[in-house]
Structure 1
Amino acid sequence: MMKYLLKQATLINEGISEVKDVLIEKERIQKIGQSIQAEGAIEINCEGKYLVPGSIDDQVHFREPGLTHKADIQSESQAAIAGGITSFMEMPNTVPNALTQDLLEEKYQIAAQSSAANYSFFMGASNDNIEEVLRTDPRNVCGVKVFMGSSTGNMLVDEPSTLNKIFSEVPMLIATHCEDEQTIRKNMQQAREQYGEDVPIHLHPEIRSEEACYLSSSLAVSLAKKHNARLHVLHISTEKELSLFENKTPLNKKRITAEACVHHLWFSNEDYSEKETLIKWNPAVKKPSDREALWKAVLDNRIDVIATDHAPHTLEEKQQSYFKAPSGGPLVQHALLALLEKSIQGVISKEKVIEKTAHAPAQLFGIEDRGFIREGYFADLVIIDPQQTTTVNKDNILYKCGWSPFEGVQFNHSIEKTFVNGILAYDKGEIVHVKNGKRLTFNRRD
């Protein structure tokens, strides 16, 4: 294993920016300081460049097993490290759904052989697998995923007795997708009656409406409060939902936390006319006022983390009519760059970007020895060049699906290098190591 000495890097870490040297050896950060000397180390001049902890994405869909024509763990984890994401947590709605411990473990075995980034996988809940859910090991599984809105296969959890049982008995973090299914079905039927199968895409946020989101999110929060469960509500998309979350309690003591996603912070319903179904997500991208409210909640800590909900589909699938086009899009390669672009625009500081994408996910999930630039921590590190632009085009997209909603966008930063567990995994546009990821472990507070 190589030893690296990063010289004169501007560390953006734990709320401050300062110039330091960092020594990497044996997977970990061995020393942080001024004028470090290390015999035998490969020196990298980082003067004028940022050094940040690798992002930890708490919500991705890498499509393996069963949907590998869209993506797989190897391809998407490589795109992730190219985007400065060094750890990910993947969702259970693959095929078959990860609804048993054996199926869950099969995903870990695939990742152990192919992932370029560190990994964890959510255990899936359904209306009839509570006994399997309760067997989940909180030490090495990130959480239990509950779809309180329709999803792939047998993953809609809508039985009140099942929801009560999950929230009262599951001892670890419960992550929820919150959209009320009955409201959505009613809205879909009304749209079909008016437009047939050719529903205009701009109606997507009316079909998967603010009301559908709030009804479901408020139910999840009420159940969590009733049973003192550890709840994490994913991809908040509306201003109304933000009233459900508070910012007075320190993150390490919160029982109810929330996530925002890059697409809800970047796009609005004004973009449907140009992007059409390429920005069809569930929950839907909504009004500019919702987007602005989400940014305020990120800044005042009602929203605890920023993730991607990376969910690739082929371009052919996405270009179908409204009801046939699947929801979701690829984001991991450009999420950090998009957030740093907002820092240039004065929307958010660079320090806050790193807090929401690295520090807070590590704290929220209790991830061991990651998410910060600290001596003794794993060397999951990203060198960012603020003087080098990145233009997204099909020639440099690493997603298996081959497209991005950011195509044509020029970002004012570039990801120069990414280290995963002390190994240089990505370097100036090239994937250097492809199977370097480790299984995340957790020191739970649930």
Structure 2
Amino acid sequence: MKSILITNAQIINEGKTFSSDILIKGEFIHKIAREINASEANKVIDAKGAFVLPGVIDDQVHFREPGLTHKANIYTESRAAVAGGVTSFMEMPNTVPNTLSQELLEEKYEIGKNTSLSNYSFFMGASNDNIDEVLKTPIDRVCGIKVFMGSSTGNMLVDNEKTLENIFSKVDMLIATHCEDEATIRRNTEIYKEKYGEDVPIQCHPLIRSEEACYKSSSMAVALAKKYGTQLHILHISTAKELGLFDNSTPLKDKKITAEACVHHLWFNDADYAQKGTLIKWNPAVKTKADQEAILQAVIDGRIDVVATDHAPHTFEEKNNSYFKAPSGGPLIQHSLPAMLELYHEGKITLEQIVEKMCHNPAILFDIKKRGFLREGYYADIAIVDSNQPWTVDKSNILAKCGWSPFEGQTFKSSITHTFVSGHLAYEQGQFDESIKGKRLLFER
């Protein structure tokens, strides 16, 4: 059995930072101890001066396959993920066709099996008329059900109250929601169209997709979850007002209602539209500095449980457009961990908190089997980080298929030097070993 020893590691795990060695045998962590004998391993990696973390689990990505592969595909984006220390992802159903049947869902798993360099899971999509298909979803083999309570691709907008009641009352697994009230957005759109015509400035995006639109939808989702005892996870919180819907008085494993923050809402605010323009057009919108600061505080104090990306690439030509023509979304997965580590360097968050929100908590929240922690007997999903190896994001090192990033020109202090996926050293000092693919995530429910 192939074995790899990581020596002189500064391990960040379960709220502690400590020195140790890690012995990997096959797919699993075999031993964590001080001074493991090098003779036990086929290969030794000296991690002196580096941090060793569990691999990041990103609970919200859009890899665009099938149907939108001119923007991205599972191979290219999983490759970018691995280079960024992300060892597992959960992908959304608004591909083409929308993932609204068990047959279409399994077709995506087959693509993942054949092409993904990182571990993978795919959400089953809910629409206004597929509840029977939703209820067939195997709870131990699929991460969750996705409900778009805001405009989305195809037949995936679910804003009929009776339909939502049906979903929330019958689904017995995690429901993840995109929460923006469509009627409010349409009303705001008309107001700004009357004022500007088709030339609405990008700075109006957070006023059109407003705090009111977010809170109205999020509060409805929370009310439904409380009514039916549903496990609800609200994605990409973008406003300070919504934070009042969540609490930190209960351990995550006992929470029924949880929330996610995305890297772009922690990094950018509405002052950045002047420079970045439509490149930072996301739904929900990047909002005020006060919202940005409140979201970070909620990540730190436990009202927000998970940090992810909502990685959603479009081509540069698609994004480099007027407000209404430019689609929302952008590539983030390669740079999510370096960006969060930059906040650590700035003294805004600790390494232990980053690992909790990006590695441990997704595993706890989704009941992922044997991942998310550095523990003996767990899968060896590991990222090694040199926190003193600066690099600058430019087109030559962007791995997302779309070839651009909102972080272009940004210098990060930390580099991911090695990434292990289920024990396989998939990425080492800029080089990939694609001989072994990632594995399907399984869930202990």
Structures share fold, TM-score greater than 0.5: yes
Provide the residue aligned with 2:252 in structure 1.
251
3-state secondary structure, aligned to 1:317: helix
Show CA shifts across 1:129-150 (max 9, x none).
Answer: 0000000011000000000001
Q: Which amino acid aligns with 1:84?
A: G
Q: Which amino acid aligns with 2:105?
A: L
Show CA shifts across 1:234-263 (max 9, x none).
Answer: 000000000000100100000000000000
Q: Are 1:167 and 2:168 an aligned pair?
A: yes
Provide the residue aligned with 1:346 in structure 2.
347
Provide the residue aligned with 1:106 in structure 2.
107
Q: Which amino acid aligns with 1:286?
A: K
Q: Residue 294 of structure 1: CA displacement?
A: 0.3
Q: Residue 39 of structure 1: CA displacement?
A: 3.2
Q: Are 1:405 and 2:406 an aligned pair?
A: yes
Provide the residue aligned with 2:151 in structure 1.
150
Provide the residue aligned with 2:27 in structure 1.
27
TM-score by length of 2: 0.99
Q: State the distance in 2 between where 1:58 and 1:158 align.
A: 23
Q: Are 1:8 and 2:8 an aligned pair?
A: yes
Q: State the distance in 2 between where 1:141 and 1:9 align.
A: 34
Runs of 5+ consecutive residues of structure 2 not aligned to the other structure = none
Query: Is 2:424–2:436's contact at 8 Å kept on the other side of the alignment?
Result: no
3-state secondary structure, aligned to 2:328: coil
| Count of residue pairs the alignment pairs up | 444
Question: Once superposed, what is the RMSD of the aligned Cα atoms?
Answer: 0.7
Q: State the distance in 1 between where 2:391 and 2:246 align.
A: 36
Q: How does 1:238-387 map to 2 (within 5 A)?
A: 238-387=239-388
Provide the residue aligned with 1:199 in structure 2.
200
Q: Residue 41 of structure 1: CA displacement?
A: 2.3
Query: Is 2:174–2:233's contact at 8 Å kept on the other side of the alignment?
Result: yes
Q: Residue 435 of structure 1: CA displacement?
A: 4.6
3-state secondary structure, aligned to 2:437: coil
Query: Is 1:61–1:310's contact at 8 Å kept on the other side of the alignment?
Result: yes
Q: Cα gap change, 1:434/1:331 in structure 2, threshold over 3 Å: closer, same or farther?
A: farther
Q: Residue 434 of structure 1: CA displacement?
A: 5.9
Provide the residue aligned with 2:181 in structure 1.
180
Q: How does 1:39-188 map to 2 (within 5 A)?
A: 39-188=40-189
Query: Is 2:126–2:146's contact at 8 Å kept on the other side of the alignment?
Result: yes
Runs of 5+ consecutive residues of structure 1 not aligned to the other structure = none
Q: State the distance in 2 between where 1:392 and 1:136 align.
A: 40
Q: Cα gap change, 1:434/1:301 in structure 2, threshold over 3 Å: closer, same or farther?
A: farther
Q: Which amino acid aligns with 1:402?
A: G
Query: Is 2:236–2:262's contact at 8 Å kept on the other side of the alignment?
Result: yes
Q: Residue 40 of structure 1: CA displacement?
A: 4.2
Show CA shifts across 1:10-36 (max 9, x none).
Answer: 000011111100000110000000110
Q: Which amino acid aligns with 1:131?
A: D
Q: State the distance in 2 between where 1:35 and 1:357 align.
A: 28
Query: Is 1:113–1:435's contact at 8 Å kept on the other side of the alignment?
Result: no
Q: Residue 181 of structure 1: CA displacement?
A: 0.2
Q: Residue 369 of structure 1: CA displacement?
A: 0.3
Q: State the distance in 1 between where 2:408 and 2:344 align.
A: 20
3-state secondary structure, aligned to 1:424: strand
3-state secondary structure, aligned to 1:18: strand
Provide the residue aligned with 2:213 in structure 1.
212
Query: Is 1:114–1:435's contact at 8 Å kept on the other side of the alignment?
Result: no
Query: Is 1:78–1:434's contact at 8 Å kept on the other side of the alignment?
Result: no
Query: Is 2:314–2:330's contact at 8 Å kept on the other side of the alignment?
Result: yes
Percent of aligned pairs sharing the same letter:
64
Q: Which amino acid aligns with 2:364?
A: Q
Show CA shifts across 1:83-119 (max 9, x none).
Answer: 0000000000000000000001100000000000000
Q: State the distance in 2 between where 1:223 and 1:158 align.
A: 13
Q: Residue 3 of structure 1: CA displacement?
A: 1.2
Provide the residue aligned with 1:36 in structure 2.
36
3-state secondary structure, aligned to 1:223: helix
3-state secondary structure, aligned to 1:154: helix
Q: Residue 304 of structure 1: CA displacement?
A: 0.2
Q: Residue 392 of structure 1: CA displacement?
A: 0.5
Q: Residue 63 of structure 1: CA displacement?
A: 0.1
Show CA shifts across 1:409-437 (max 9, x none).
Answer: 00001000000011110111122226521
Q: Which amino acid aligns with 1:365?
A: F
Query: Is 1:114–1:434's contact at 8 Å kept on the other side of the alignment?
Result: no
Provide the residue aligned with 2:18 in structure 1.
18
Q: State the distance in 1 between where 2:388 and 2:193 align.
A: 50
